Structure 1
Amino acid sequence: MHAPHHLCIPEQSLGEEMLRLIKWLFILLLAALAALFFWGYTPDTEAAQMESKYGNSASRFAELEPGLRVHYRDEGKQDGPVLVLIHGSNASLHTWEQWIAILGKDYRVISLDLPGHGLTGTNPAGVYDNASYVSVVDSLLAKLNVDKAVIGGNSMGGGVSWLYALEHPEKVDAVVLVDASGKPNARSGEMPLGFRLMRMPVIKEAVRFIAPRSIFESSVKTSMHVQSKINDKLIDRYWELNRYPGNRDATMKRFSSPKSMAPGTKERLSAIKVPVLILWGAEDNLIPVTVAKWFAEAMPQAKLVIYPNVGHIPMEEIPEKSANDVKIWLDGVAAKTPKV
């Protein structure tokens, strides 16, 4: 028997149908991209406007290398011991403001915006890893004639802090690690939406242009467990400074570089012999509290403080409690330090 003629579809018709389908899929894709840009396109903020809004009377800019202009603040008791504070990924020196208000009564506190963050913006060398950040911190301290300091940092800034202590042990009196990066393959429970997007192929390229405020609101709410501390001013700060000229490109480079975080080992960290204070939020979604214990095991001289019902950013979630813990600990360290 012969097959009915109406079941025989010419190959040419099949090809035309396929082309038509591809054409419509392409049109739908373009429409979706257009809608995405219409919904979330956000240009860079204006540098002068951001410097006016987020700078203050203590803000200074130091040109550490040709074209590398770093925003920093040198505050507090100018003849006191020096405390250097280093912010985390996609944050800025503003994260330390409440600590500085408390600790600045007894300490000279230096904070800075790392390249690719805050009001510092682009590093002409195009490098945004922890090793380069150690170099930036060291150059700034040299410019400010600081020979020795307590080095502290949160998250990525904590990773920079312990790396600085390893590379410049003669310049470090003590180390403060606040929910610090450093343990290899540390997996968090719930990565902030913004961080997840930065890790997605193709999507991360769109994040150069698409950064709606809602993404930053979601990321802040994931990072901070104490939700009562979150307000519009705080979300706007993270959102607007992320879009300071050069910062988004820098973020792309950091997230695409597997070595940018400079993971440590217990053997490596054990070389740090100065006093260490480890502060950690028990509800940290980015770097789990198990990492705090890992750091404490690597450095037996460390004092470990874990805060219940606190997330990844204790200095913004419980500023008074965490700053006072630092002050009490530093007073104890100073009391044990032999007078020269």
Structure 2
Amino acid sequence: MRKLLKALGWITAIFAVGCIALVATFWVPDVPVNDLVPKWAQPPSQFLAIAGMDVHVRDEGPRDDPEPIVLLHGTSASLHTWEGWVSALKKERRVVRLDLPGFGLTGPDPKGDYSFDAYARFVLAVLDALKIERAVVGGNSFGGAVAIATALAAPAKVSRLILVDSGGYPLNSTSVPIGFRMASIPGARFLIGSVLPRFVIEKSLENVYGDPSKVTPELVDLYFDITRRQGNRDALLARRSQAPSDGIAGRIKDVKAPTLILWGGRDRLIPPASAQRFKADLAVSEVVLFEGLGHVPMEEDPAATVAAAMAFLAKSADRVGR
């Protein structure tokens, strides 16, 4: 027994030394938001005081647009994920994008409420602050689920939906990015809050892209920086427990807004079968599949994906005009 206890003591000591070495090697502390603003909040960025947060927003395009387009990013992303779309849309449409609570430069919710209902209230508060009465709401991944929650909370405020590889149903992933796997490890709060090798971000992005060669060093810099925004890593863990991937699955059939469903054929995090499930559950919807793209098709091929969105919006407008 004494030998066994001694061996266990040595194993525990070796494990502790290994953990200390890991943390010492890959220690990445949080970064104050003010240190990130000069790089990632250049004009036309602005910050709106909403629900105790300074919300990072970009509001572009003609102000006389009767139905602005509001775009919501996915987990661990930011408003920058829509850059390619906005370049095309803002010539004729007012386009609003924002960093959701717990992400980007907005950072954590001071109340720690990351439920879908809270996110819907937040989006509606942003619309009110910008004096937007009615909008087209689009979202990618988790942002798609938030868009759905917003449409359910205030149907009169959401004229149409654009869901891009959207969350909403239980995940049937065939591959999960390493960063997301780390967040699922018991005791991960300490690990993720302290250790974040840059290669974890790089490999996570390569995992969700249909063509990993499109992941550039500049893209990795963006995701690495916004993940380290003070409070974001703790918020990610809190959000995962409060707003599970299937948290609104039972209510999706209640959505009445016409919906465009865009999907990457190589999405392994939320495979394309979910697109067909959305189509079956949403009364007025259509699906466009992009065979070579992954989970964030609007980043990989903004030209092709925004063209599909613009065609949908033009058809919807014609329908309304009649």
TM bin, normalised by shorter chain, reads over 0.9
Among 186, 203, 212, the residue aligned to 1:227: 212
Q: Percent identity?
A: 36
**How far apart are residue 202 of structure 1 and its match?**
2.0
Aligned residues: 321
Instruction: Give the whole-Å Cα distance in 1 for the aligned partners of 2:69 and 2:44.
Output: 16
**1:286 corresponds to 2:288:** no
Aligned with 1:70: secondary structure?
strand
Aligned with 1:207: secondary structure?
helix
The letter for the 2-side match of 1:138 is: L
Among 174, 186, 191, the residue aligned to 1:189: 174
| Alignment match, 1:99 | 85
**How far apart are residue 204 of structure 1 and its match?**
4.4
Measured against aligned partners, the alpha-carbon deviations of 1:109-153 in whole angstroms (never above 9, x if no partner) come to 000000110000121101122221111110010011100000100
1:226–1:259 CA distance, 2 compared to 1 (3 A): closer
**How far apart are residue 259 of structure 1 and its match?**
4.2
The answer to whether the 8 A contact 1:254-1:260 is kept is no
Rg: which structure is higher?
1
| Alignment match, 2:13 | 27
The letter for the 1-side match of 2:22 is: L
Among 158, 164, 188, the residue aligned to 1:178: 164
Instruction: Give the whole-Å Cα distance in 1 for the aligned partners of 2:321 and 2:11.
Output: 73
The letter for the 2-side match of 1:98 is: G
Instruction: Give the whole-Å Cα distance in 2 for the aligned partners of 1:77 and 1:305.
Output: 28
Instruction: Give the whole-Å Cα distance in 2 for the aligned partners of 1:102 and 1:27.
Output: 58
The letter for the 2-side match of 1:256 is: S
Instruction: Give the whole-Å Cα distance in 2 for the aligned partners of 1:145 and 1:249.
Output: 32
The answer to whether the 8 A contact 1:128-1:260 is kept is no
**1:273 corresponds to 2:256:** yes
The answer to whether the 8 A contact 2:72-2:98 is kept is yes
Among 150, 153, 156, the residue aligned to 1:167: 153
1:299–1:260 CA distance, 2 compared to 1 (3 A): closer
The letter for the 2-side match of 1:121 is: G
Instruction: Give the whole-Å Cα distance in 1 for the aligned partners of 2:239 and 2:203.
Output: 21
**1:323 corresponds to 2:306:** yes
**How far apart are residue 187 of structure 1 and its match?**
1.1
**How far apart are residue 256 of structure 1 and its match?**
2.9
Q: CA RMSD in A?
A: 1.5
Among 167, 189, 209, the residue aligned to 2:194: 209
| Alignment match, 1:87 | 73
| Alignment match, 1:4 | none
Measured against aligned partners, the alpha-carbon deviations of 1:178-232 in whole angstroms (never above 9, x if no partner) come to 000011x231000000001101102443111111101111100001112232100
**How far apart are residue 79 of structure 1 and its match?**
1.6
Which sections of structure 2, spanning at least 5 residues, go unmatched?
none
| Alignment match, 1:312 | 295
Instruction: Give the whole-Å Cα distance in 1 for the aligned partners of 2:44 and 2:116.
Output: 26
**1:108 corresponds to 2:91:** no
1:110–1:208 CA distance, 2 compared to 1 (3 A): same
The letter for the 2-side match of 1:194 is: G
The letter for the 2-side match of 1:75 is: E
* Structure 1: 4+ residue segments shifted above 4 A: 258-261
TM-score, normalised via structure 2 length: 0.96
| Alignment match, 1:302 | 285
Aligned with 1:27: secondary structure?
helix
The letter for the 2-side match of 1:123 is: D
Q: 1:45-124 residue pairs with structure 2 within 5 A? A: 45-65=31-51, 67-80=52-65, 81-124=67-110
**1:39 corresponds to 2:22:** no
**How far apart are residue 274 of structure 1 and its match?**
2.1
The answer to whether the 8 A contact 1:280-1:314 is kept is yes
Instruction: Give the whole-Å Cα distance in 2 for the aligned partners of 1:258 and 1:147.
Output: 27
Among 254, 260, 268, the residue aligned to 2:239: 254
| Alignment match, 2:112 | 126
Among 301, 315, 318, the residue aligned to 1:332: 315
TM-score, normalised via structure 1 length: 0.91
Measured against aligned partners, the alpha-carbon deviations of 1:267-301 in whole angstroms (never above 9, x if no partner) come to x3232222110000011011010000000011132
Moved more, 195-204 or 169-178: 195-204
Aligned with 1:69: secondary structure?
strand
Instruction: Give the whole-Å Cα distance in 2 for the aligned partners of 1:269 and 1:207.
Output: 32
Instruction: Give the whole-Å Cα distance in 2 for the aligned partners of 1:223 and 1:312.
Output: 5
